[in-house]
Amino acid sequence: MKNIRINIIIKVLVFVIFISGVLIFTDSIIKAKFIGDSTSIVNGFYSEKRNSIDLLVIGSSNSFCTIDPVTLYEDYGITAYDFGSSSQPLNISLLYIKEALKKQNPKVVALEANMLIGDCMQRGNEAAFRWGYTDIPLSVNKLRAVYQSLGKVDKEYFTYIFPVFRYHNRWKELSKTDYIYWKQDKTNYSKGYLQTQSVCAEPVRLDFYYDYQNIDYEHYVSSEALEYIDEIKKICDKKGISLLLFKSPKQGWYAADTEAVRLIANERNLEFIDYNELYNNGMFMLDTVNDFRDADHLNDFGAKKASGDFGRIIVEKYGLTDNRNPAEPSEAQADKYASWEEAVSYRHRQGWQLYMEAVTAKECIELLQNEPQYVLIVTDAKSGANNDRVHQWVYSDGKILVDQIWEDTGIRHLKIGESELVLSKFGALQQVLIDGVENYEADSRWNIIIYDKNCKEVVGRMKYEN
């Protein structure tokens, strides 16, 4: 009888483990991918080397649109990561800190204060919960946090534990990215920061900061928010981590909000930096026309200014180590240095580049063909005596990998870095597919596609008539 019971228990455990494995794998394919938001941020964080982050930035989208870790590293040698999610409630901020401390030992945790005022739990805001929970691995801490958000264990609760129950209808809209994302390199070269050079359509009114008498909401920090702040502080104190609060510049934040946050910060002996207050007191300069992507968030131009000032304060108050160019580094120091240097290199390869000044295809190729990180896919759409054929080349590491002349229908597959390149011709239609995405533009004779092997994406598409 005892053996029968043991066999039944074993079979039940095996069944549960099998079903859980199927659900987790199915989740990885079917769940929503918040690229540019929490999916990229969370998976990028777990890709970081252990104990490589000195400054951990936590909070809602205000945090990862304000503090740019690449700027912090370039200016001060600070290794930082923006570990946040849009509209992040405080209980999810606590969850993210607990997750972060499983593999990182930061010297400073900076919590963005936007969610301290009012409903810190964002009750009823499903989007905030999906952004916050979907990509965090299953753990006891996650189970507890989801319960805190919902207040009950029901069918909805389990959709946060196994997102397949929420997103099962996505089968109709799945793309190649959904099927291959789970095995892709998740490195986040912006270290969690959301890059954008979009400019707000209207000037942002930071000057309303002191004009709050007629605002129809209370400027307060709830008792729930205080409980989470106290738990976060307790965790940081136990680990010897300095906790500070900061507020990014935004329209709709008022001096009364600052006073409410400063009161709880002072009571807990926490530093509080408010860029709305600094701006209105003339201690921090921003262009309210060009430095914001919208009324609530900075763009790259504003974030560079805020990050530069934030880094100065962090170094002065907490004395973080400059990790640039370490002399005789240990293996761990070398890994840390290499990771952020790679992030800086990635940033510098974005935006304006010298090859963009080329006026002919030949000049562009000459500028790029010996650059080891690039693969060039070059198409001459009017080759031959009567312009009746297509000629294509693929360059990598200064060598020609492919020299293909198309006169009839055909297709050719090859690997470039970790991506799949497909060259094809079907009648008058020419295609250059990289990981299933069309990159060829047919309205010029010369078409040059620039693929970066390091960041595994197309970084340029150049067209010329000569």
The residue-averaged pLDDT of 374-394 equals: 82
The residue-averaged pLDDT of 433-452 equals: 86
270 pLDDT band, cuts 50/70/90, is: very high
Task: For residues 466 and 394, give the distance between their C-alpha atoms in angstroms, rounded to a whole number.
Answer: 19
- Percentage of the chain surpassing pLDDT 90? 51
Task: For residues 91 and 123, give the distance between their C-alpha atoms in angstroms, rounded to a whole number.
Answer: 11
- Range of lowest pLDDT (97-101, 150-154, 310-314): 150-154
The residue-averaged pLDDT of 101-108 equals: 97
Task: For residues 228 and 120, give the distance between their C-alpha atoms in angstroms, rounded to a whole number.
Answer: 9
- Per-residue pLDDT tens digits for 1-40: 666 777 667 766 766 666 666 666 665 666 665 666 788 8
pLDDT of residue 268: 97
301 pLDDT band, cuts 50/70/90, is: very high
Q: Measured in Å, how far apart are the chain's first and last C-alpha atoms?
A: 85
449 pLDDT band, cuts 50/70/90, is: very high
Yes or no: say if 347 and 303 are a contact pair by the CB < 8 Å rule. no
pLDDT of residue 436: 79
The residue-averaged pLDDT of 123-136 equals: 89
For residue 212, is pLDDT > 70? no
Q: Which two tokens stand for residue 161?
A: 């534990």
For residue 458, is pLDDT > 90? no
Locate the DSSP E strands across 113-182.
Answer: none
pLDDT of residue 63: 97
**Three-class DSSP category at 159:** helix
- Range of lowest pLDDT (277-286, 389-398, 437-446): 437-446
**Three-class DSSP category at 303:** helix
pLDDT of residue 225: 93
- Per-residue pLDDT tens digits for 403-438: 998 887 789 898 888 788 999 888 778 889 888 788
pLDDT of residue 144: 96
**Three-class DSSP category at 14:** helix
215 pLDDT band, cuts 50/70/90, is: low
Sheet arrangement for strand 437-438: 410-416, 419-426, 429-434, 437-438
pLDDT of residue 303: 96
The residue-averaged pLDDT of 361-379 equals: 89
For residue 259, is pLDDT > 90? yes
Task: For residues 279 and 254, give the distance between their C-alpha atoms in angstroms, rounded to a whole number.
Answer: 12
Q: Give the residue from 75, 51, 78 showing the smallest Cα distance to 330.
A: 51
pLDDT of residue 124: 80
- For the chain, what is the mean pLDDT? 87
Task: For residues 369 and 451, give the distance between their C-alpha atoms in angstroms, rounded to a whole number.
Answer: 12
Task: For residues 59 and 109, give the distance between their C-alpha atoms in angstroms, rounded to a whole number.
Answer: 11
For residue 111, is pLDDT > 80? yes
Report long-range pairs for 311-318 (Cβ below 8 Å, ≥24 apart). Answer: 311/71, 311/72, 311/75, 311/76, 311/78, 312/76, 313/273, 314/55, 314/72, 314/76, 314/78, 314/108, 314/110, 315/76, 315/78, 317/244, 317/271, 318/107, 318/108, 318/242
Choice between 178 and 59, residue whose per-residue pLDDT is larger: 59
Q: Give the residue from 21, 49, 24 showing the smallest Cα distance to 136.
A: 24
Task: For residues 74 and 97, give the distance between their C-alpha atoms in angstroms, rounded to a whole number.
Answer: 25
Yes or no: say if 366 and 447 are a contact pair by the CB < 8 Å rule. no
Q: Give the residue from 455, 385, 458, 8 showing the smallest Cα distance to 187.
A: 455
Domains of the chain in sequence order: 31-116+175-344 (3.40.50.1110), 354-464 (no CATH)
For residue 41, is pLDDT > 90? yes
* Planar angle of CA 225, 228, 233, nearest 5 degrees: 125
> Is the sign of the CA dihedral 126, 130, 131, 133 positive or negative?
positive
CA torsion 270-275-278-283 (nearest 10°) is 110
- Helical ranges in 319-425 per DSSP H: 331-348, 361-368
- Percentage of the chain surpassing pLDDT 70? 86
pLDDT of residue 277: 97
